A and B are shown apart, each in its own frame.
Chain A
Amino acid sequence: MAQLTSIEPAIRATDEEVQRLCEFLYRRTGMSFSIDKRYYIDRRLAERIAVTGSSSFQSYFALLRSDVDHEIEHLVNAFTVNETYFYREEHQLHCLTAGVLERIVSTRPAGAPIRIWSVPCSTGEEPYSIAIWLLENWGQVDAFDIEIVGSDIDTRVLEAAISGVYGKRALMRLSATVIQRYFEPIGPGEYRIDPGLRDSVQFHRVNVVDPQQTAAYRDFDVIFCRNLLIYFDDASRRLAAENLYDCLRPGGYILLGHSESMSRISPLFDVCRFPDAIVYQRAEGGHDNQ
């Protein structure tokens, strides 16, 4: 997570300027923030204004629009929590078991495969979280063959994911019981994930913008693709959305980060509102919109 200064910002944007920033961010990235989150926006905006040496909001906004030195990416980084940990955005895991999977299995015979893809998976916290969550919270977990795949473009983080060693901070959202059940302490503040659980997640390198690389990934029922598309330019984002569409089984679901909106990114998916989260769905076969 970016370090935020606790001092009062030297330049404080007005409500009108924050509104302008929010509309720009939504249009360019699909990230949605509103003026009622000023407490969240102000510190991050002030940090970027300071780091870029901008003399005013106006000069910073001009720099942002021109994407000088990848400023859009830097701002997105400041607005997203880059640190990853187990059970991050837990409401989406609730949504997975209480909504998405229940719908999927309603038309699937017992014993059928269910395929879940976490991309980008970084150092493995997300796909392992999905595995633990299913084992702990989904009553039908024994009735289906569940395959979990984690992918990232960065082979270094994949190696860390496969090693399955985590610090105490990554486990902060897990109960003592869950930690005891799935982790083994291996040193001061260090834990190794249970070998059985570790072997239940496959890790592979992939670039989601490359259609030839994603061609090997098909028939997923659920894709977790959180806080990735916001970093792409428009052309790459459209291409990634089309690739992810092809990776899903007809009727499959894609979950984005809590501030992201696929509706802004691509018209390929239908919006599904579950009690815990908004999810996007590839239409069932034969239901192409005219």
Chain B
Amino acid sequence: MPLIKRGSASGTRLPTSAETPPRAASHASLASRLADLRSAEAERRWRAARALGRDPEVVPALAAALRCEPVARVREAITTALLRIGTEASVAVLIDCLRCNDAGLRAAAIEALQALPTAVRPFVEALLADADSDVRILATELMRNMPERDVTELLCRLIEHEPHPNVCAAAIEVLTEAGTSDAIPVLEACSRRFAHDPFLPFAISVAIARISGTEG
């Protein structure tokens, strides 16, 4: 039979079901991992980021690495490390990324932050009031995994006075998934305010239909 037999010499040695799996071969020191994070080799940076995902003390190093990391998968590993650390400091690093010009980094930061709704919550109100409309748009995305009451209250407060149609559209999309019926009067008012916009009244009709469970 061409299939390799269990325990055969040509098979790979893996831990049996009864064995404790071997610890990772690398017992590199923290200092060497931090040095690897600045290596010219993407593979070393990837391994360093993967190994540093538990220690809150490494957040500044991860932050510095994230700002200049050109390789998508290494960036992914750094954001995962920050997500696993999950402290206020690591969340602040990811929130800073919302202002960067790199769309890939912004997207990676959003995904990581969405996984930390409780840690992100204290930052959200300031982000929704940010002077930069792009930051306000991204801030609405951070609310997707938050409790419905918070989503409805904060996003309704936003769209009541929000002048930028794209910010309203982003908030409406999140309300479509996570809003409660308390949002409906605010959405209707927003629809009237942007009656001449080519998209918002339609998006609002879909949101109201989804929230109320009736056909749009």
Contact = CB atoms under 8 A, between A and B. Distances in A.
B216 to A, nearest CB: 7
Contact of B22 (A142, A155, A215, A235): A215
B186 interface: no
A238 B213 contact: no
Contact of A216 (B5, B14, B177, B210): B14
A238 B176 contact: no
B80 A242 contact: yes
Contacts of B5: 199-200
A235 B54 CA distance: 13
B76 A204 contact: no
Interface stretch (B28-36, B67-75, B92-100, B132-140): B67-75
A162 B2 CA distance: 20
**Interface SS majority for chain B:** loop
B173 to A, nearest CB: 10
A205 B15 contact: yes
Contact of B148 (A65, A143, A144, A216): A65
Interface string A123-164: 000000001001100000111111111000001001100100
Nearest to A207: B21
B71 A234 contact: no
A202 interface: yes
B213 A57 contact: yes
A19 B210 contact: yes
A99 interface: no
B14 A215 contact: no
Interface stretch (A8-16, A38-46, A100-108): A8-16
Contacts of B101: none
B147 interface: yes
Contacts of A144: 2
Contacts of B86: 235
A204 B180 CA distance: 47
B83 A238 contact: yes
B25 A233 contact: no
Interface in A1-39: 13-17, 19-20, 23-24, 27
Nearest to A146: B3
B72 A204 contact: no
B17 A135 contact: no
Given A17-B210, A242-B80, A147 B24 contact: no
A200 B4 contact: yes
Contacts of B84: 235, 239
A175 interface: no
A212 B3 contact: no
Contact of B216 (A16, A113, A143): A16
A219 B200 CA distance: 50
B129 interface: no
Contacts of B72: 267, 288-290
Interface in A228-284: 233-235, 238-239, 242, 245-246, 266-268
Contacts of B2: 135, 141-146
A134 B3 contact: yes
B95 to A, nearest CB: 17
A58 interface: yes
B1 A16 contact: no
Interface in B190-216: 209-210, 212-216
Contact of B115 (A17, A58, A213, A233): A233
A191 interface: no
A15 B21 contact: no
7 contacts: A20-B177, A115-B12, A147-B4, A149-B14, A204-B15, A206-B21, A288-B42
Given A16-B209, A20-B210, A141-B2, A288 B115 contact: no
B140 to A, nearest CB: 14
Nearest to A233: B115
Contacts of A268: 73, 76
A52 interface: no
A113 B76 CA distance: 31
A20 B212 CA distance: 11
A20 B176 contact: yes
Contacts of A141: 2
A218 B76 CA distance: 20
B182 to A, nearest CB: 12
A11 to B, nearest CB: 11
Interface in B161-188: 176-178, 180-181
